[in-house]
Chains A and B, each alone.
Chain A
Amino acid sequence: MKRLFRIYDDIPRGVYLGVAIFSICFILALWSLLSYTGLTDTRLLPTPSDVLAAAQREAGDGTLWGDMLASSYRIGLGFLASTVLAIPIGLLMGTLKIGEAFFEPPIDLIRYMPAVAFVPLTIVWIGTDDRQKVAILFIGTFFQQVLLIMDNVKNVPRNLVNVAYTFGLKPWEVLTRVILPASLPGIVDTLRITMGWAWTYLVVCELVAADQGLGSRIMISERYFDMPAMILGVLVIGLLGITIDYLFKFLYARLFPYMKRRAA
């Protein structure tokens, strides 16, 4: 028993898994206890079966799938637009000091302007259609992404670059054949982390102005005081987020098997 509480020490895999499952079950149990027994007002905290019923209803009439599709489409487009620009600009900033000097001051400035503050502005500029959501997602993601990618690129061990020069490679070849593959694991990790932030921005946009999407469903449900549907909305966003996170982790393990450390 004492062995399970040693600082930094490993614990058996079975114990780890058991505790992880217990922790989820504990939350579900607590929720059930509070709601089914009437300890709390079920109008405010609906029971798990209420939420399941809402899920069945929304899945049955297709609203759930429509919302998921709308939200995924927006986040996919916004995240893609951001990533497609952030990778080359981050590479440029991380490798060329002059590129850093040109791009970093404005990016740093905009980075500290909360993306959420652009919601009213973009509504006036663009309207409330998908393009506005993509714009907010871009503003919220790009300026963080590009600086993190710059750091990923800067962290490439200088010796790898020097070795490539001694092989007679030209600077352009060093960039594409050494610096890019060397920083790729870090970049994929950056994408995974920024994807989590992108979800927040998406939901904020949808809460403010949208007629479809997981965020707007929460907002609409609030109007009808449909608590089970609101909780369902929050849960689905969380589940989608964690699924994407695991997909990134899976991709990382598949793409970079060499990153696995040797068992000492």
Chain B
Amino acid sequence: MTGRAKLRAEGVRKVFGSGKGELVALDDVTMEVDENEFITIVGTSGCGKSTFLNIVAGLTEPTGGKLTIDGHAISGPGLDRGMVFQSYSLFPWQTVLQNVVFGLAKKPMSRRKRLEIAEEHIAMVGLRGFENSYPSQLSGGMQQRVAIARALAYNPSMLLMDEPFGALDAQTRGLMQELLLGVWEKHRITVLFITHDVDEAIFLSDRVYVMTARPGRIKAELPITLPRPRDYEMQTAPEFVEIKRRIMALIREESLRTIAREERL
């Protein structure tokens, strides 16, 4: 093992409920994320990938296994990790500016400094002029940009993203992916991204982990060697298509397994 791993998960297991209602969501997830890497986990719906991300965020306790960030065991949520959820995560009673400032609540700094940082991050995601808008006045894509700005504002060393563009239409999703890559290339932060969109995974990542159907396990690990900076046209390049074919085949195996299992029930 290399010494520069940012996140290390070893044999992570998660069981919900007990007795007859027991559900093994994750079984022996072992993976690593290096410093400043962009890593994506893809898998069929219900495979436990979101559960895994919640465990990394410290929001859910694993049933077993070891998880470390910078060598320290994860014991709960912390400001070293920022999280972006799929939807409904902006505080509706706060304006865009207030939302971003709220993320800095536990940072020891003056109110002036908080405002300054918030405004800088709002500008970074291209929302200057919307500081005083409420989330309900913004489109879904704009709301997710606020969520990204808010998670980055308190300067975490790792960004956790749970299908952040999953609820957006295809055109907006493409633009958001480019925006995220732009921000990431400037910020150089470690990202762990969850999605079931294979194109999205390849386009964004340095490496892609494919998960099995429930109980979730790592099925395969694929390096993405496409050069950076990446642009949208890359998605039709032969290398892109080839890796997509491989990942699709892996996921298809898992989908078929899930269907077969459901039919037995």
What is the 8 Å Cβ interface bit string for chain A, positions 164-189, against chain B (1 contact, 0 not)? 01111100000001100110100000
User: In the complex, A145 Cα to B91 Cα: how many Å?
Assistant: 25
Residues of the B chain whose Cβ atoms lie less than 8 Å from the Cβ of A157: 88-89
Does residue B105 face the partner (Cβ distance < 8 Å to A)? yes
How many residues of B are in contact with the other chain, CB < 8 A? 30
Give Cα A260 to B87, complex, Å: 18
Smallest CB gap from A257: residue in B = B134
Contact call B92/A258, Cβ cutoff below 8 A: yes
Nearest-CB residue, chain A, relative to B76: A165
Is A168 touching B105 in the complex (CB atoms < 8 A)?
A: yes
Residues of B85-111 whose CB lies within 8 A of A: 85, 87-89, 91-93, 102-103, 105-106
Whether B87 pairs with A159 at a CB distance below 8 angstroms is yes
Query: Which residue of B85, B102, B106, B136 contacts A159 across the interface (Cβ within 8 Å)?
Result: B85
- CA A160 – CA B144 in complex, angstroms? 14
Distance in angstroms from A258 CB to nearest chain B CB is 4
Q: Which residues in A have their C-beta under 8 angstroms from that of B136?
A: 258-262
Chain A 132-168, CB-CB to B under 8 Å as 1, else 0, gives: 0000000000000000000000000101101101111
Assembled-state Cα–Cα distance A166/B92 (Å): 18
Do B138 and A258 touch (CB < 8 A)? no
The distance in angstroms between the C-alpha atoms of A159 and B154, with both chains bound, is: 18
Which residues of B6-27 are within 8 A (CB) of A? none
Measured CB to CB, the closest approach of chain B to A100, in angstroms, equals: 19
B62 on interface, CB distance cutoff 8 Å: no
Known interface pairs A162-B59, A166-B77, A169-B105; A258-B83 also in contact (CB < 8 Å): no
Task: Name which residue of chain B comes closest to A178, CB basis.
Answer: B91
A166 touches B93 (CB 8 A): no
Contacts of A256 in B (CB 8 A): 93
Interface size on A, residues (CB 8 A): 22
Residues of B166-188 at the interface with A, using a CB-CB cut-off of 8 Å, are none
Contact A182 B59 (CB under 8 A): no
- Taking CB atoms, residues of chain A closer than 8 Å to B216 are none
Report the separation of the CA atoms of residues A157 and B154 in the bound assembly, to the nearest whole angstrom.
Answer: 23
Give the residues in chain B near A184, CB-CB below 8 Å: 93
Instruction: Indicate if the CB atoms of A166 and B88 lie closer than 8 Å.
Output: no
Contacts of A167 in B (CB 8 A): 79, 102-103, 105-106, 154
| Residues 58-87 of chain B, each 1 if its beta carbon lies under 8 Å from chain A, else 0 | 110000000000000000111101110101
Q: How far is the CA of A142 from the CA of B102 in the complex (A)?
A: 34
A124 to B88, CA, bound (A): 52
**Assembled-state Cα–Cα distance A258/B105 (Å):** 22
> Which one of B57, B87, B135, B139 contacts A166 once the chains associate, using CB atoms below 8 Å?
B57
Distance between A56 CB and nearest chain B CB, rounded to angstroms: 47
A161 smallest CB distance to B (angstroms): 9
Across the interface, do B77 and A168 meet the contact criterion of CB distance under 8 Å?
yes
- Return B162 CB to nearest CB of chain A, in Å: 9
Given A165-B59, A167-B102, A168-B106, A182 contacting B92 (CB threshold 8 A):
yes
The answer to whether the Cβ of B225 comes within 8 Å of any Cβ in the partner chain is no
B79 and A160: CB pair below 8 A?
A: no
Which chain B residues lie closer than 8 Å to A166 at the CB level?
57-59, 77-79, 81-83, 151
Q: Are the CB atoms of B89 and A163 closer together than 8 Å?
A: yes
Given contacts A182-B93, A259-B92, A259-B136, 19 further A-B contacts (CB under 8 A): A159-B87, A162-B57, A162-B85, A163-B83, A165-B58, A166-B58, A166-B59, A166-B79, A166-B81, A166-B151, A167-B103, A168-B79, A168-B105, A178-B91, A182-B91, A182-B92, A184-B93, A258-B135, A262-B137
A-B contact pairs, 10 of them (CB 8 A): A162-B57, A165-B58, A166-B83, A167-B102, A167-B106, A167-B154, A169-B106, A182-B92, A258-B136, A262-B139
Q: Which residues of A contact B (CB under 8 A)?
A: 157, 159-160, 162-163, 165-169, 177-178, 181-182, 184, 256-262
Among all A-B residue pairs, the 7 with the closest Cβ atoms: A168-B106, A258-B134, A159-B89, A157-B88, A165-B77, A159-B85, A166-B83
